[in-house]
Amino acid sequence: MSDYVSMWKDLGMDLESHDLLCQVLPTAVGDVFLTQENRPKGMDFWDLVISEVHGIRPKELIEEQKKGRKVFGTFCVYVPDEVILAANGIVTGLCGGSQFWVPGGEAVLPKSTCPLIKASVGARLGRTCPFFRIADMYVGETTCDGKKKAYEILGEDVPMYVMDVPQMKREKDILKWKDEIAAFAQKVEEFTGNTITVEKLNEAIRVINEKRKALARVYNCRKAACLPISGRDALLMMQISFFDDPVRCAQMCNKLADELEQRIADGVSVVPAGTKRILVTGTPLAVPNWKLHNIIETSGGAVVCEEMCTGTRYFENLVDETQTTLEGQFMALSQRYMKTNCACFTPNTGRIDDILRMVKEYQVDGVIDCSLKFCCLYDTEKYGVSRALKEAGVPVLSLETDYADTDAEQLRTRIGAFIELLNG
């Protein structure tokens, strides 16, 4: 038996079912990524990671666990990686992005739950994802009702800690989030047996800031009129960054950014001049959810930015590195995280400001506002987003979709018509 298969077996995975998932992934990767010509050489790294998505990184995590480190699985960009890293823990993203896991989630959740939640629960209960098996503790958060209730179900199967995210952004909410971070730090210390010191937290803050800066460098390259990387490739990089070691992630993103900056200087673009530039906003696109980007980019558009959790919300804003007490560091963390504009907050006009700013920064021709089915929060925000964009004279298309392939043709009609509209 080969390495990975025995590893999956040791993780208690359902090998037969998992093999079905392994069958569909190569086809999708081929169709979405390998159809592209002239990709940056730096994408080799992410091509390798996605080819071995259930192999390389899970194996590394298990090796680290053998050394006594703990792995924390998270579902939200509000959960502070810095705290976990400061206690020598490892963070891995756990959001499910595959239709493959949805039926497993529907076995215990209402059908009218968003596919991300259904897939996440299905991936755990179906035992078909190594990351969901490896994580020693799951860290949830109260960003929507569906997740809150799903964490209760997951909590029956795995140690679960839930952080209480505020719903408003008043000064007292920032203080409240600081206290939540402090309480979480205590939990992480107990669980790992390691003490979080000012020095360690400062180092963790620095490491995660470096990762944010590296991701931001790649995104900066996408602002250029000469587009050096496709939206699909940038999305893959972003999705994998939730799983990777933060130091290596920063290295790889910086290396990619070097190449992209050179491409811009040399005038190397992945699309013909005049290709309409699309900003995608809305709910996250968890790996391997590539449907929207693939349809946009095979309908004559190019995605230049994602205003979403798997996008700008993950890396914009840095944490202040000058604090000298834990109290000060927790506050600095709270201040940075509370700048992230999630639809779970009211009011959330900051998101509209972000979108309008990014439309300018990324030289956007049109915005596609897409939410996952049954995500009441982002669906409702479409009204305000679309009104603000129309007032600013920016064409916008609002869409709703899930992980199934069945609406691809409907999406192609809408997105195709939208790009025809942009082309005039």
**Which residues are near another protein by CB under 8 A?**
2-5, 19, 21-32, 34-35, 44, 47-48, 50-56, 98-100, 288-291, 294-295, 298, 390, 395, 400, 403, 405-410, 412-414, 416-417, 420-421, 424
In sequence order, what DSSP letters do the residues of 169-228 get, joined into one string?
A: -SHHHHHHHHHHHHHHHHHHHHHHT----HHHHHHHHHHHHHHHHHHHHHHHHTTSSS--
Nearer Cβ to another protein (53/216): 53
* CB closer to another protein, 324 vs 406: 406
- Closest approach, Cβ 66 to another protein, in A, equals 20
* Of the candidates 253, 190, 200, the residue with the CA atom closest to the CA atom of residue 222: 253
Per the DSSP assignment, residues forming a β-bridge with 277 are 302
Q: Which is nearer to another protein, 72 or 403 (by Cβ)?
A: 403
Q: Within its chain, how far is the Cα of 22 from the centroid?
A: 22
Least separation, in Å, of the C-beta of 324 and another protein?
44
**Least distance CB 304 / another protein (angstroms):** 19
By CB neighbour count within 10 A (0-12 exposed, 13-18 middle, 19+ buried), where does 285 fall?
buried
Closest CA to 322 of 210, 217, 184, 198: 198
Helices (H), 222-348: 231-241, 246-266, 291-297, 312-315, 326-337
We find the least distance from the C-beta atom of residue 69 to another protein, in angstroms, to be 23
Closer to another protein at the Cβ: 148 or 373?
A: 373
* Of residues 53 and 77, the one with the C-beta less far from another protein: 53
Amino acid identity at 378: Y
Beta carbon of residue 12, minimum distance to another protein (angstroms, whole number): 17
Shortest distance, position 389 Cβ to another protein, whole Å: 11
* Closer by beta carbon to another protein, 313 or else 414: 414
Helix residue spans in 11-167 (DSSP H):
15-32, 44-51, 56-66, 81-86, 102-106, 115-125, 130-134, 145-154
